[in-house]
Structure 1
């Protein structure tokens, strides 16, 4: 097992940085507000050669180095790296520093990072806005015993039913993702006026403290940090996303920049295979995985929630259609704007029985 030391992020011109910050800020205000520049039909994700200059990547010897965030989280890229699943391939991760969750998909869409893991609705909205990216591997899945996210309130809050949330503040990690759309769909089904709820962005690692101190009234927290909240004396868990939709909205896939896909198909295969091996290893060794993650995020292992992953990370269509329907009903994308096949491909996953065409 070998752990690679993350290299420093390459220096970028200030003007490019300002442009990227502007782009990332747009995604933070909601899936409907992504201001991504459209790309031409010829520059779309596909298997053919793309015109123009080669993708800007880093190299280490004869290896292709793909740019990836170095975030404190439960993530298969880090685990695959630690477990040695990139050894023997021509591909390795190049960690480019911490990137805030709302910025990940916009930066994949522009190619500033080559891969990223964020929820399906963010990818759909980015594609609808012209971003050049595609889901290449399924990621986490929701099980009753291993939810994707959990809902907590203070024990003394008096909040016990969905209707109790009207007039309250709900903290979640970003607009435009699972926490917003799964929650709003569920609350509306329970007769809640979601316009009477204040939604506030709070990073997962800070969500428990924000709730305890009264800055929020309900916190939606993702694994691994949800485990610590489960053990907090002042808090009580109301629901998980499994309770809300049976886990349909819990797939957390891995997406890649279109130009990187076109110009480095073998590297994409290497990454997808490494991810699939790591996901299957986590499913078979959940406690060992928790130990590795606990060291990475510097959290006591008893507070680290586990993750479950889609077998072989083969992408299926129901979770994608689920979010297309939600985004259309929320008025975030026009009907027919994005088709399922626009969102994903299993082309690079050798475990997929019938690879999808791009």
Structure 2
């Protein structure tokens, strides 16, 4: 897939959202299609790709059309019909739905646990010790209005800072690959680090954790795969096979020895020949989804709707959380007794 195609997805996604809101985005437009178009990520294997490799998608085929640049872009592309499913932070799902995009979350695909978490780190000798010490300081994160900023706001509020005080904590967008360096060069006071970038920074040493999203909220699913309502209506059996298969893959990744999971992911990445490195996979620990079959819990979406409302991004009652997701296609979650 060429970069031209990926650029087209980015540029066309927003302009097509109005059509999606009116229900004209149809995904593939084929009833019970056996092919699902999607965007991937370089150097990573997502739960859908793992499910396909394990045979859990049965005769469904995944059609990779390029790599996504962000979760919001991915679900915008799904809402506009450029791809059939996309995944993003649940807050981004709520925001997109608030713009009348007729989408529905069908399964969790990433989250936070003791292995997969985002931590807020300072230099070892930093004077920042307490939540209130963050006032007037710069916090570097990958994007604003998403997971990291939400965690920061929840942390500050939980520790007694008023909204006005919390707004004095400066949030700075820093590319993930530059975040550790920015912290060590004192361009920022706090760095949000996760995954391989966190592990490599900790291995180097000289940094100290203030808190993590896992410590703040415990294990929770943070992002979901979404499809358009029209695609779901036209392809219910496809959706059921897809969702149940992804749920099985999530369960497999959690119950299978770590070395075996990494070996399988490395095999998948090598076989697809996308000119990418498998080096990051050795640092993989977990997708962070603990719910059986990736079942979606309403609270995992409502917490972000409340956060967005408190920020003023949404009006009270603008979205109805129960309408934003469904577990009815997830046979695996049902069998697990959820």
TM-score, with length taken from structure 1? 0.77
1:121 aligns with one of 55, 72, 91: 91
Q: Tell me the CA shift for residue 13 of structure 1.
A: 10
Map 1:220-235 to 2 at 5 A. 220-235=192-207
* Structure that is richer in helix per residue: 2
Map 1:73-152 to 2 at 5 A. 73=44, 75-86=46-57, 88-89=58-59, 91-101=60-70, 102-143=72-113, 145-152=114-121
CA, structure 1 residues 177+280, in 2 after alignment: closer, same or farther (shift >3 Å)? Answer: same
Q: Tell me the CA shift for residue 186 of structure 1.
A: 1.3
Q: Tell me the CA shift for residue 53 of structure 1.
A: 8.4
Residue 323 (structure 1) aligned with residue 292 (structure 2): no
Q: Deviations along 1:275-319, whole A, 9 cap, x unmatched?
A: 111100111125133455578553366644433322111112121
Residue 289 (structure 1) aligned with residue 261 (structure 2): yes
Moved more, 67-76 or 162-171: 67-76
SS in 2 for 1:243: helix
Q: Tell me the CA shift for residue 125 of structure 1.
A: 1.0
CA, structure 1 residues 125+17, in 2 after alignment: closer, same or farther (shift >3 Å)? Answer: closer
Larger RCO: 1 or 2 (CA < 8 Å, sep 6+): 2
Q: Deviations along 1:54-94, whole A, 9 cap, x unmatched?
A: 64479xxx8423222334345212322333333x32x2222
CA RMSD of aligned residues (A): 3.3
Q: Distance in 2 between matches of 1:217 and 1:271?
A: 43
Q: Deviations along 1:103-132, whole A, 9 cap, x unmatched?
A: 222222222222222111110111011112
Q: Distance in 1 between matches of 2:334 and 2:109?
A: 17
**For structure 1, which runs of at least 5 residues remain unmatched after alignment?**
1-6, 25-34, 44-51
1:219 aligns with one of 170, 187, 191: 191
**For structure 2, which runs of at least 5 residues remain unmatched after alignment?**
270-276
Q: Distance in 1 between matches of 2:177 and 2:265?
A: 14
Partner residue in 1 for 2:209: 237
Q: Distance in 1 between matches of 2:245 and 2:330?
A: 10
